[in-house]
Amino acid sequence: MTPLALTMGEPAGIGGEIALGAWRALRGSGLAFVLLDDADRFDGLPVRRVASPEEAGAVFASALPILHRPLPRLPVPGRPDPANAPAVIAAINEAVALAKARRVAGVVTNPIQKSALYAAGFAHPGHTEYLAELAGTGVPPVMLLACPQLRVVPVTVHEPLARAIARLTPDLIVRAARTTATALRSDFGIAAPRLAVAGLNPHAGEDGTLGTEDREIVAPAVAALRAEGIEARGPFPPDTLFTAHARPGYDAAICLYHDQALIPIKTLDMAGGVNVTLGLSIVRTSPDHGTALDIAGTGRADPSSLVAALRLAAEIARNRAR
């Protein structure tokens, strides 16, 4: 199989450690990836410089293949340096270019430290928005979080809750759900996706007595989706939507704000959750955690989420190829 590209992420974070941990977990699996990073910071470890991603498969069983991309400054664990931000961004750019050229099967991004990138002039809120600029398809990108027990999509993401609620419209919900349904078919191999749409208020508004948003915003979005032939139901009371009894009834839950989506999936599987960007021309996944500056360099970083992200990226690439 064509290898995946893994970006360096924040050099002062745990990206290098979990990359090695993921290589150790996957080196006998047949799933190969190449890391875009500074090979000098892996001295004494089982890594090998390669000149192209096409060489990754041949060396993967014995060493982590690295496309050597030097950093301006040697990173200090736990202390991000804006001087390294251009190299972090360049690794993302190159990985996307390799995926668009089909030299890699997809891109897996290690976590970035946004504050360090902002200090260097990075003008995007985060990975998702930047990737949409590099590999967009004309539809707004959608964040999907996945683990074996649950898939969730937040309609609004990184914004204050009051602003997120004020921004909700039927059209915003429909656009996110439509992109989700398309991706469930093409990327996850689900022929007839079933979407469950969460309510906003307790008890999904209790017929308007606990807020009218569910009746005036969410219900019309569900009706519009069904009119398009998408199997969507709701709004469902959020406090029961994620129970073990409810989860088998849908393929993805459309949630209305960040924490409504991320609290249940991180509670169910903090170590194995994966962030997937829908609506791109390339495959992109990421571990569902941050840079973990507080434990960087201590050897305590858990590579489980990165392993899951690599496996899911490979699965999505296979489904798209079919």
Ordered alpha helix ranges (H), the chain: 15-26, 56-59, 85-100, 114-119, 127-135, 161-167, 170-186, 213, 219-227, 238-241, 258-269, 304-321
pLDDT digits (tens, 9 = 90+) for 112-125: 998 888 888 888 88
Q: Is 284 annotated as a binding residue?
A: yes
Q: Is 266 annotated as a binding residue?
A: yes
Q: Is 289 annotated as a binding residue?
A: no
3-state secondary structure at position 189: coil
Q: Is 258 annotated as a binding residue?
A: yes
Nearest CA among 299, 277, 300 for reference residue 288: 277
Q: Is the pLDDT of residue 1 over 80?
A: no
Q: Is 179 annotated as a binding residue?
A: no
* DSSP designation for 280: B
Question: What residue spans define the domains of the chain?
Answer: 1-136, 137-279
Nearest CA among 286, 297, 241 for reference residue 268: 241
The CATH fold assigned to 137-279 is Isopropylmalate Dehydrogenase (3.40.718)
Q: Is the pLDDT of residue 292 over 90?
A: yes
Mean pLDDT for the stretch of residues 145-152: 97
Question: Quick one: pLDDT band at residue 35, thresholds 50, 70, 90?
Answer: very high
Topology agreement, domain 1-136 and domain 137-279: yes
The CA–CA distances, whole Å, from 218 to 143, 169, 178, 180, 253 equal 19, 8, 14, 16, 13
- Give the per-residue pLDDT at 117: 87
Token output for 108: 């897996």
Q: Is 110 annotated as a binding residue?
A: no
Q: Is the pLDDT of residue 126 over 90?
A: no
Q: Is 100 annotated as a binding residue?
A: no
Q: Is 245 annotated as a binding residue?
A: no
- Give the per-residue pLDDT at 125: 80
Among the residue ranges 94-103, 111-120, 208-217, the one predicted with the least confidence is: 111-120
Architecture of domain 1-136 in this structure: 3-Layer(aba) Sandwich (3.40)
CA distance 163 to 22: 38
Q: β-strand 194-198 against 47-49: which pairing, if any?
A: unpaired
**DSSP helix, strand, coil percent of the chain (3-state; round to 5):** 45, 20, 40
pLDDT digits (tens, 9 = 90+) for 44-73: 999 999 999 999 999 999 999 999 999 999
